[in-house]
Amino acid sequence: MSHGHIKIAREGRLTIITIDRPAAHNALNAAAHEELAAAFDAFAADPDQWVAIITGAGEKAFCAGHDLKQQASGGGMATPASGFAGLTSRFDMAKPMIAAVNGVAMGGGFEIVLACDIVVADARAVFALPEPKVGLAALAGGLQRLPRTIGLKRAMGMMLTGRRVSAEEGERLGFVNEVVAGDVLAAARRWAGDILACSPMSVRATKEAVLRGLDTPVERFLTEQWDYPAIAAMMGSQDAVEGPAAFADKRAPAWSGR
């Protein structure tokens, strides 16, 4: 289904969102930001959609960041309240997000990648936060997420120079989960399938616990975790009964997501 600058496909419990501006290297203008924000709103609110993949159209670019031509013509750089691409400031997204990086991921495009939970990259993909080269800074979470992911010194080496990093180096540094030569979307679907084999309630509780735990001392976290929304929902869910029952019966669980 096309929505102007993006395409949305639903495959069972999986939502696939494609940035569809290949002629502009999938750079995001104001309309594309709003369309992506609406798409992620719909995904987050749909109880039947459990995992999402975001990718780019064409073979050259995942997302080249902000549409600088729009900015140069006086169009500004405004983004939705939920952040760049409607994702980078969406801190309540407990459902897992997979980035299928089919090409260049620059600036805000790399910040989309860093906001995802799993990153699958084509061997030809390239990553950078090149904003200092054009008089800007990566202010959509990249300056915070990259050091947390790969460590301060390695991140500084990328951020202060704006240098480009290959998919292979990204895997070594730790922000890419898998590099593939071929169909990156098929690899992302495989990761999604492995996630969908688990209880969505458990997956959301795990993501919420991990992300909140990054900034919380362990002793406090172990007390507070029971009040976290996704953990409380998991503990009171049908899936929490179904999982042990399926194990005892030696059968595959039938997850309901509730």
Q: Among 11, 7, 9, which residue's Cα sits nearest to residue 196? A: 11
The residue behind tokens 């750079």 is 27
Neighbouring CB atoms inside 10 A of 217's CB total: 8
Active site residue 35: no
Radius of gyration of the chain (CA): 19
Active site residue 242: no
- CB of 22 closer than 8 Å to CB of 58: yes
Give the active site residue among 131, 169, 208, 224.
131
Whole-number Å distance between alpha carbons of 179 and 169: 10
Helix (H) or strand (E) holding 126: strand 126-128
8 A C-beta contact, residue 121 and residue 103: no
Q: Which of 11, 34, 35, 111 is catalytic?
A: 111
Q: Which residues are catalytic?
A: 111, 131
